[in-house]
Structure 1
């Protein structure tokens, strides 16, 4: 997928981006609790007032880092472009899985995977920002793709369970970038096309099987709430 070129940044946007990258790099290495605003300012080459001006506080900066990290893993504009493309739904899913696997396996991708992995392993109260600002619309677009494959309505709990099942292996690969031992490391060392093919075939088979059960009336009843 290609994205439209962005307009040149203003000085304020450049400063904000520099602070964001400096904070992401430090949060990724030492964690939120051990990273001070002073250290971030020094790394970014700005004063403390600049952090407060652009982000309000260190907490606000960390929430912005989480949002930016999530955007770098799954960009909303890219996902919208994929969802609106003329590709068959099964191929859209393959493209998405390929992107996620590539970003998990590529060690040169930057700090965002480390920050997200740390937050997923030990969630803080700040993770709520992702479920307010980043996850809902992206999950909705992916659900539409899975709905087209399975035939299950996008708002049905059965489809949400499918979304979890498809996303979980990709999330595990992200966490594996922090050195999680076991089979995840073997997956990360496996050629990308082999991993993508496996995850895609497994996802398609699962979606079709659950879709068949759903339409045959074998899906468990909806839970209250």
Structure 2
């Protein structure tokens, strides 16, 4: 395959992903058809099958792309391999989540929200290929802040307690009427600082309680 043909193929694949993401965010998996995705993307059905294998393959790819846009593995690797203290790494992580959820395209966070609220058979693949590998990168920092042993199941329970408030805050901020209309406007840095203090306070409190139980 020539370089131009390969570039054209990548552009077509990206266009299909973008259109599919928008449809899936607004209508959900059950009410989204491959036909309408193909028509909006300006391709035929064979093109979807060529790039993704099937409707299910397309949905799986949309989920993976949505998660990568929310939080990218390479960004995580660079941040958590740095010499920053644990609190600053957590601050950076929350910054990734806020920026990823507040991006120009709304569909990634909406698609992931739909999948988590009404799981499909593809959630297991998303967990194994995107979610769990990223969580394993994050765990050592939560261990350092909370002092809970890295192999303790309690530490895993802390993960959604850190991530979920970030996602929900971004979702509520993008709603109409938005969270800002109730709580007042907040800059990006103020929001990240607020969420980071909340997360650190929770981690330290759980760590103290867990230590007392031991």
TM-score normalised by L of structure 2? 0.86
* 2:162 is equivalent to residue 162 of structure 1: no
State the number of aligned residues: 211
SS at match of 1:152: coil
* Inter-partner Cα distance in structure 2 for 1:132 and 1:156: 20
Residue matched to 1:52: 49
Q: What do residues 43-78 of structure 1 show as CA deviations (whole Å, max 9, x unaligned)?
A: 222111111111111111011101110110011111
Cα RMSD (Å):
2.6
Residue matched to 2:96: 99
* 2:213 is equivalent to residue 218 of structure 1: yes
SS at match of 1:10: helix
- Unaligned stretches of 5+ residues in structure 2: none
Instruction: Report deviation, 1:31.
Output: 1.9
Conserved? CA contact 2:71–2:100, under 8 Å: no
CA, structure 1 residues 140+166, in 2 after alignment: closer, same or farther (shift >3 Å)? Answer: same
CA, structure 1 residues 114+69, in 2 after alignment: closer, same or farther (shift >3 Å)? Answer: same
Out of 59, 66, 71, which is 1:62 matched to?
59
* Inter-partner Cα distance in structure 1 for 2:171 and 2:198: 20
Residue matched to 1:3: none
Q: What pairs with 1:58-207 in structure 2 (closer than 5 Å)?
A: 58-106=55-103, 108-176=104-172, 179=175, 186=182, 189-207=185-203
* Inter-partner Cα distance in structure 1 for 2:57 and 2:202: 40
SS at match of 1:154: coil
* Inter-partner Cα distance in structure 2 for 1:123 and 1:178: 23
CA, structure 1 residues 199+143, in 2 after alignment: closer, same or farther (shift >3 Å)? Answer: same
- Unaligned stretches of 5+ residues in structure 1: 1-6, 220-225
CA, structure 1 residues 186+99, in 2 after alignment: closer, same or farther (shift >3 Å)? Answer: farther
Residue matched to 2:31: 34
Range with greater deviation from structure 2 (192-201 or 176-185): 176-185
TM-score normalised by L of structure 1? 0.82
